[in-house]
Homo-oligomer: A and B are copies of this chain.
Amino acid sequence: MFSKSCEYGLRAVIFIAQQSIEKNKVNISTISEEINSPQAFTAKILQQLTRNNIVKSVKGPHGGFTVEEHKMDIRLSEVVSVLDGDSIYKGCGLGLKQCDANSPCPLHYKFIEIRDNLKNMLENTSLKSVINDMYLEEIILKR
Contact = CB atoms under 8 A, between A and B. Distances in A.
Interface residues of A, number: 40
Interface stretch (A56-64, A65-73, A104-112): A104-112
A74 interface: no
Contact of A118 (B91, B114, B125, B134): B114
Chain copies in the assembly?
2
Nearest to A125: B110
A141 B125 CA distance: 35
A29 interface: no
Interface of A: 1-2, 4, 7-8, 10-11, 14, 36, 76, 88, 91, 93-98, 103-107, 110, 113-114, 117-118, 121, 125, 130, 133-134, 137-143
